[in-house]
A = this chain, B = another copy of it.
Amino acid sequence: MTFDLVVRGTVVLPDGPAEDSWVAVSDGKIAAIGTRNAPAAREIFDAGDDLIIPGVVDGQTHACSYGGLPGIRSTTRSAIAGGVTTIVDMPYDNPAPLNTLERLVDKIAAINEHAHADVALYGTIMPGQTTDDIEPLIEGGVVAFKISTFESSPTRFPRIASDQVLATFLALRDTSVPLGVHNEDQEIVRAYIAAAKASNRNGIEAHSGSRPPAAELAATAQFLELGAASGAHAHIVHLTTPRGFQLVDNYLADGFRATGELCVHYLWFDPDRDGAELGARMKVNPPIRPGQIDALWDEILSGRVAFVSSDHSSWPVDNKFTPSIFDAGAGVPGLETLLPAFYTAADNRGLDAAAITVEQLCERPAKFFGLWPKKGAIRLGADADLAVLSRRPQVWDSSRAHDELCWSPFDGRAFCVTVTRTYLGGQLAWDGVAVVNNPGAGRFVRRGSSHWFE
């Protein structure tokens, strides 16, 4: 027989890398995996000793916060250029969030029109909304729901009161679908920001203190307990300190379904070291805390982190140029840097970077969102989503990024690897120079049957 495609190189399989090996593709799926002599194929790419890894599943992106549904186009173009073949997009779209089946249908249509990468979707609920829309959204294929305990925008990103959080959990209790939370206590954050403003502390160095760990942890603890009380899966979409992961672990130990996620910027930046240089360019919520990087890596190594994501936000940099840090938009672009940045940070710590990258960026998010075994691993029958990772060093230059934003906190940072090819469903999508697939090549992917807690 003749395969559609064979990619040769050091193939990173679930139980480790295999040198001088190959992946063969038929009909968009991985059809064979072998070592040394490759079989015949209509197309053969020899990556030498570059790493061939599963396409990354970025579990937290905001494609449509700024530009609405068309934002999918530039976001997924950036994803593909960064080796990310699936994004899990948050529901806080502009001008209105994904909280009904109708909006899901619209967003799927936009994916079909715009997406360069596959897209899975979060849903949400709005204040006052009943839980009647939850089941249709699950049947429609959303992979998770998310709410916030802090109001970033009344129409797009509102605070959900605890009775409605509880109602949502109860509607999800008999499913495997997680409810995620943006975890900040609104009363504490507002009081602390007011106090900071009153004392004229307006720079990035005031940001972490203005949304203190106590605000994050109080919201986390309350949310986890509501999840426990209802029996549903409670997920904290970002935790910035080890205490947060300890809380999650206590719920697991007590027999409940609880998880916590990290974003790559918490593993890279420190306001004490980088604040003067980056200013609002490193403003995210909850804030990056001083002195946490080592401790957060320990959390990863201890297995208490569900997975690592980018929390990619599509804000133009103008959004950051404000006199006060409190007026600057929160969030940073991150899709195109996720893979090289995480790999580099792991490598710099002396870890087995290939293994931990595939675990945290591919396998774990795929399993978490019910996309495994289609996504997240190089295994027979999986989608032929592949990234070729060359051990060629680079210095990040966001002016060449594909997200139309062209700014990044990683600008000028050295990465030890470069994404030189990306395949989506066996089709070349990124050739190291340009995104070569068409908008609409990416598809909407539904939650499947894989369950995290089994």
B29, B31, B191, B226: the one contacting A218 at CB < 8 Å is B226
Interface residues of A in 367-419 (CB under 8 A from B): 373, 377, 379-381
B34, B164, B230: the one contacting A32 at CB < 8 Å is B34
A318 located at the interface, meaning its Cβ lies under 8 Å from any Cβ of chain B in the complex: no
When the two chains form their complex, are residues B229 and A18 in contact, meaning their CB atoms are under 8 A apart? no
Q: With A and B bound together, what is the CA distance between A161 and B192 in angstroms?
A: 13
A15 located at the interface, meaning its Cβ lies under 8 Å from any Cβ of chain B in the complex: yes
Q: With A and B bound together, what is the CA distance between A16 and B192 in angstroms?
A: 47
Q: With A and B bound together, what is the CA distance between A217 and B251 in angstroms?
A: 13
When the two chains form their complex, are residues B187 and A214 in contact, meaning their CB atoms are under 8 A apart? no
**Among the listed stretches A35-43, A61-69, A353-361, which one makes contact with chain B, having 4 or more residues with CB under 8 Å of it?**
A35-43
A152 located at the interface, meaning its Cβ lies under 8 Å from any Cβ of chain B in the complex: no
When the two chains form their complex, are residues B218 and A222 in contact, meaning their CB atoms are under 8 A apart? yes
Given A15-B14, A32-B33, residue A220 in contact with residue B214 (CB < 8 A): no
A293 located at the interface, meaning its Cβ lies under 8 Å from any Cβ of chain B in the complex: no
**Cβ distance A201 to chain B, nearest Cβ, rounded Å:** 17
Given A34-B33, A381-B18, residue A229 in contact with residue B218 (CB < 8 A): yes
Identical subunits present: 4
When the two chains form their complex, are residues B1 and A39 in contact, meaning their CB atoms are under 8 A apart? yes
A208 located at the interface, meaning its Cβ lies under 8 Å from any Cβ of chain B in the complex: no
When the two chains form their complex, are residues B26 and A31 in contact, meaning their CB atoms are under 8 A apart? no
Query: Hey, what's the 0/1 contact readout for A11-31 against B, CB within 8 Å counting as 1?
Result: 001111010010010100111
Query: Hey, what's the 0/1 contact readout for A319-359 against B, CB within 8 Å counting as 1?
Result: 00000000000000000000000000000000000000000
A9 located at the interface, meaning its Cβ lies under 8 Å from any Cβ of chain B in the complex: no
Q: Which B residues are CB-close (under 8 A) to A250?
A: 250, 254
Given A191-B163, A222-B222, residue A37 in contact with residue B33 (CB < 8 A): no
**Cβ distance A158 to chain B, nearest Cβ, rounded Å:** 14
Q: With A and B bound together, what is the CA distance between A190 and B163 in angstroms?
A: 9
Q: With A and B bound together, what is the CA distance between A218 and B30 in angstroms?
A: 47
Residue on B nearest A18 in the bound complex, by CB: B380
A246 located at the interface, meaning its Cβ lies under 8 Å from any Cβ of chain B in the complex: yes
Chain A interface bracket (under 10, 10 to 19, 20 to 34, 35 or more): 35 or more
Given A214-B226, A254-B250, residue A35 in contact with residue B39 (CB < 8 A): no
When the two chains form their complex, are residues A39 and B36 in contact, meaning their CB atoms are under 8 A apart? no
**Residue picked from A24, A29, A36, most chain B C-beta under 10 Å:** A36
**Cβ distance A228 to chain B, nearest Cβ, rounded Å:** 8
Residue on B nearest A37 in the bound complex, by CB: B1
Residue on B nearest A214 in the bound complex, by CB: B229
Q: With A and B bound together, what is the CA distance between A18 and B217 in angstroms?
A: 44
Q: Which B residues are CB-close (under 8 A) to A13?
A: 379-380
Interface residues of A in 241-296 (CB under 8 A from B): 243, 246-247, 250, 254
Q: With A and B bound together, what is the CA distance between A39 and B22 in angstroms?
A: 14
**Cβ distance A415 to chain B, nearest Cβ, rounded Å:** 29
Q: Which B residues are CB-close (under 8 A) to A166?
A: 188, 214, 218
A224 located at the interface, meaning its Cβ lies under 8 Å from any Cβ of chain B in the complex: yes
**Cβ distance A211 to chain B, nearest Cβ, rounded Å:** 12
A58 located at the interface, meaning its Cβ lies under 8 Å from any Cβ of chain B in the complex: no
Given A18-B380, A21-B380, residue A35 in contact with residue B35 (CB < 8 A): no
